Amino acid sequence: MSEVFKLATAVSRPGSISYGQWDAFTHSTGHVEFLPVIIAQGKESGPCIWLTAAIHGVEHTGPWVIHELLTQDLLAELRGRIIAIPSLCPVGVRVNEYVPYIVEKNPNRLWPEDKPKKTDPEKRSPFPLEAAYERLFDQIIDSADYLIDLHNASIGSIPFTFRDRVLYHPDNNQQHNKAHAQELAYRLDEMLAAFGLTIINELPIDKYIDNDLHRSTSGSILLKGRIPAFTVELGGGQMPDRAIVTAAVAATRNVLRWAGMLDGEPEPISGITIIDLGYPVRTTTRLRMPHPGIAIHLKEPGDMVVEGEPVAELRDIWGRPLPGSPLVSDQDGFILGRSHGIFFDQGEAIYHMAMRDDQPLIGPYPEDFLKDQKADALSPNHHT
């Protein structure tokens, strides 16, 4: 760790915090889109952790957490290196959009996936931002031991961490692949436990792939890069909550202690709701509006819910009850957050909720995910 480390224009040296920019792509107007880079390097050697934030332009808590964490006081005790990117999508921040105009899909679904890419001259090439993430992925894999990606869930939601499913290829090396997946999942669970917030499992494997969650920042680094990584949802949206920022900074320092990058006992996490039911839970949006109209939420984020319990009053625009009012929960669990507003179209989710999860956390990729890979393997133009 005594060596100089460089990432684009940021050049770090032991015992220093350096700043720079990583050029992502050039706009058609000629100006360069860059990602801000901060590198904090301790005087002693140790692991490297990446911290990323604000891939969605309307999620503002992550950069604040990074700024509060990377101080001279931390540097004096730090072993190893922290590489932070306070905004993975500055253009989204500038235009205040979850999905900015330069892409046509969620930018947190543009990271590399663990199968060969097929090229088709009849289709457009990857979005410039997608190509940038492919290059950044390589630099993360070359240097990172761990990664934490900072997000915001809905306004007022409790802060929590997402645990991705750990997948492996069901090929001739299936048992070897499965053993490595189990080892990776164990390290991920240790890291999540060190962070200390409520842990929510991502969707079951088939839905996980269908929703391109394996191409999220943390999903890609975990599954293709085989590096422990997770997503943090910090609530608050564009209005960060100072208590959540303080808790997230302490939680990140606890991960640094777990990784051997800081000394001392874990800090207590206070000022936020943390829920552990003693069994795994996963995210769900099953509480949906049965008719177009108005939903008056009866539950707050963090509230426990039992099957059959009323969770929302349903009204039309005149305030008259709609059929099926009140809406009742079809499962036990707890409320992660409420969807914004009170007006909903039919089928829109009213709540984000956590429910018991009995699905495997480790498993093979679905067969249909690998079909293109197997077909490509038969092609004389296939490259590994």
Domain with CATH 2.40.50.100 in the chain: 281-356
Q: Give the pLDDT confidence of 265-299 residue by residue, as tens digits.
A: 999 999 999 999 999 999 999 999 999 999 999 99
- Long-range CB pairs of 169-173 (<8 Å, 24+ gap) are 169/114, 169/364, 169/365, 169/370, 170/364, 170/365, 170/367, 170/370
Q: Is 203's pLDDT higher than 50?
A: yes
Q: Residue 384: its pLDDT value, please?
A: 33
Q: Where in the chain is the domain with CATH 3.40.630.10?
A: 5-278
Is the pLDDT reported for residue 383 higher than 80?
Answer: no
Give residue 124's pLDDT. 67
Q: What is the pLDDT of residues 297-321, one digit of tens each?
A: 999 999 999 999 999 999 999 999 9
Confidence bin at 374 (pLDDT 50/70/90): very low
One-letter amino acid at 137 equals F
pLDDT bucket at 372, cuts 50 / 70 / 90: low
Alpha carbons 20 and 35: distance in angstroms, whole number: 9
In the CATH scheme, what is the homologous superfamily, with its name and number, of domain 5-278?
Answer: Zn peptidases (3.40.630.10)
Q: Is the pLDDT of residue 376 over 50?
A: no
Query: What does the pLDDT look like over 227-258, one tens digit per residue?
Result: 999 999 998 777 889 999 999 999 999 999 99
Q: Is 81 in contact with 263 (CB distance < 8 Å)? A: no
For 86-137, the pLDDT digits (tens) are 999 999 999 988 899 988 899 999 999 988 777 776 676 678 999 999 999 9
**In this predicted structure, what is the pLDDT of residue 369?**
80
The model's pLDDT over 141-164, given as tens digits with 9 standing for 90+, comes to 999 999 999 999 887 899 999 999
User: What percent of the chain stands above pLDDT 70?
Assistant: 94
What is the pLDDT, as a whole number, of residue 239?
A: 82
The model's pLDDT over 52-99, given as tens digits with 9 standing for 90+, comes to: 999 999 999 999 999 999 999 999 999 999 999 999 999 999 998 889
Residue 375 clears pLDDT 60, i.e. is over it: no
Q: Which residues contact 109 (CB under 8 A, 6 or more apart)?
A: 212, 213, 215, 216
pLDDT at 76: 94
User: What is the per-residue pLDDT for 378?
Assistant: 33
pLDDT exceeds cutoff 90 at 179: yes
Q: Calculate the CA 105 to chain-centre distance.
A: 16
Q: Which fold has domain 281-356?
A: OB fold (Dihydrolipoamide Acetyltransferase, E2P) (2.40.50)
Give me the helices (H) in the chain, please. 61-69, 72-77, 90-95, 128-143, 174-195, 205-210, 217-223, 242-258, 367-377
**Which residues make beta-bridge pairs with 36?**
21
